[in-house]
Structure formats: C-alpha cells, structure tokens
Structure 1
Amino acid sequence: MKNLFLGVALFVFMVAVCEAHLCLFNPQQRGTMNGINAAGSNDCILLDGPCGGRKAMKPTVGIMAGVPYTVVFQKNLDHFNTADPGMFVVSVGENSASPTFKQVGMVMDSGTPSLHVYTMNVTFPKVMSDGAVVQVKYVTNNKQAPAVFYQCADIMMF
C-alpha cells in the first residue's frame, strides 16, 4: 500500500511539474498542436526567448497590416500573483535570426483559472519584409514560477 501511495504521489508531482503554461492557437504556434489541451504538453512550456527555442516554420496564415486581427491564446497553468499581477503581451517582429518585437497588445493577468482562453483584437503594423513573427509572452511576476513563457507563430504580412 505504501508503494502505491508513493507511486501516485510521484505521478501527481510529475504532472504538476510538467504542466503546460502558454499555448498559442491563432495564429498557430510553432511546433505541433499535439496534446495542447492536456496537462504537460511539451509544445507549450517554452522558457527561452524570444520564441522558446523553436526555429521558424513556414507561415501558417496571412495577415493584412492595419486590419484588426484576433489572436487567441491559452493560460494553461495559472501563476497569478496577487501582490504583483503578471501580464500577457502580444508583439510582432520581422522573421530574422534576432527579431526586434513591437508590442501590439497587452492584458493583465487577473487570476483567471488554468486553461482559460484569451482573445485579443490587435492591429499589426507593416513590417519590413513579408515574413513576420507573432510573439505571445506570459510574464508571471511570480517568484514561485518561471519569469516568462514564450510562444511564436510565423505569418505572412500583406
């Protein structure tokens, strides 16, 4: 019985540690969308800026500069800090080795539960080239969690 308890406790701990934190639905994030709504999705726990260590992909969508566009993303695990709330930031930049991002939208973390889906209407400016990168960051402001989670999507700008 003791071994069963330890096994269950270890499984619960591993699920909690591996929990996904930020997923980008629209435009579609780099990588796959496998298991995106399940706890522990490897496609959603990206900690290295600017794009979680994921390399550029073929653009999945074309977006017209100057026209409102709806970005859809998910807070897969809540890291709300009541003393210093974090935020979700949407930015766009050129698809280059070292992109410079321009912020186009931001929403404060308000303690919404894990798996909450956000929609944000933004207007993208024209970038210098046709290829662009949409970046979404979850800035936690929580010392008990990683400082920032990243997701990027490759788009064509018109």
Structure 2
Amino acid sequence: MNTIMFAAYFAAALGLASAHLCLIGPHQRGTMTGLNKKGSDDCILLKGPCGGRPSSTPLAILMSGKNTTVTFQKNLDHWVKASPGYFAVAIMQESKQRIMDYKEIARVPDMGEPSLTLYSVTGMVPSRISGTAVLQVTYVTNNPDAPPVFYQCADVAIN
C-alpha cells in the first residue's frame, strides 16, 4: 500500500472513530472536555439510550407542560446528500435501564452544516412526565459509512 493510500485510509478510519454530538444545555452526562475541537473524545457515544454513561444528579430543572430550549453541537459532520440524517430531542424516564416513557419533543434535519455547528431548539416538556427524567439528543446519520446513531443525555428534574 503506498503512503498516500495509507494516509487516506487512516484519516477515514480516524474520522469514523471520532466524536460527533455534544449536548451543551442542559449539560451532558460526563464532562465537556475538548468541546470546541472536531472529534472531541467526550462526545462519542454509540450505545443507546445514553452511550453507557451512568445517570447522575439532575443539573437542570424543566417545567412540565412548558417549552424548554436545548442547545447541542454537531461535533463532526456526517451529512450525505443522498440520505440526510437528523437530530432528535426526546425526554424519557428510566427504571433499571428500561425506558418507561419516551417522547420526542423536537427534530432538526441535518442540512450539511459544518462540524462544530451549534443548534438551539425549543420543545414542550410532556405534562405526563414528572420527577427525575433524561433528556436525550440523538444524531441519526443515515450515512452508510458512519455509525447509524450518536447519543448524548442530560439528567433533569421535571416539576
């Protein structure tokens, strides 16, 4: 394999192994180290519903039946013109890692914006959910050369 082909292969493999979705507000589980760098190691979560990160004490309070704003970052672009993906924001309650109630509150199409683009969306917190809950953002890539879904979660309290 010549040097140019090897470099191209390595760059492609590195791109697939890098981070792709960061949840900024409310604060994602874990840290936000390297958030403004494409491929941040703290933003790659491929296992649903929350990338295997354990729950923590809720850092945000949402109001039941009211609108809330969620801010997230496309940390690394996976847009494909032939089959564009999307970002989905949902609120769910878990019990022993089993999802009890799941409600998508916003969806944003991936229109090919560059890596590190910030999105702020507003959605209504379902009135049937209260107490401790999880706000989840997913990046559904619809890209055959990338992982199908990236996950980020934030622990929230709903009043």
TM-score normalised over the length of structure 1:
0.87
Q: Tell me how far 1:46 sits from its aligned partner.
A: 0.3
Corresponding residue number in structure 2 for 1:122 = 123
Runs (5+) with no aligned partner, structure 1: none
Corresponding residue number in structure 2 for 1:98 = 98
Cα deviation, 1:120-154, whole Å, max 9, x if unaligned, reads 01111134440000000000000010000000000
Worse overlay, 30-39 or 148-157: 30-39
Cα deviation, 1:22-45, whole Å, max 9, x if unaligned, reads 000011100111111223322101
Amino acid at match of 1:35: G
Task: Give, in whole Å, the separation in 2 of the partners of 1:114 and 1:40.
Answer: 9
Do the aligned residues in 1 keep the contact of 2:37 with 2:116 (CA within 8 Å)? Answer: no
If each structure's strand is expressed as a fraction of its own residues, which one has the higher value? Answer: 2
Identity, in percent, stands at 49
Corresponding residue number in structure 1 for 2:40 = 41
Q: Which stretches of structure 1, 4 residues or more, deviate above 4 A after TM superposition?
A: 8-15
Q: Over the residues paired in the alignment, what is the CA RMSD in angstroms?
A: 2.3
Cα deviation, 1:61-110, whole Å, max 9, x if unaligned, reads 10101111110000011111111110100000114221242111101110
Worse overlay, 112-121 or 33-42: 33-42
Amino acid at match of 1:64: M
SS in 1 for 2:137: strand
Match runs of 1:6-155 below 5 Å: 16-96=15-95, 97-99=97-99, 100-155=101-156
Aligned residues: 155
CA distance 1:15–1:144, shift in 2 (3 Å): closer
CA distance 1:18–1:84, shift in 2 (3 Å): closer
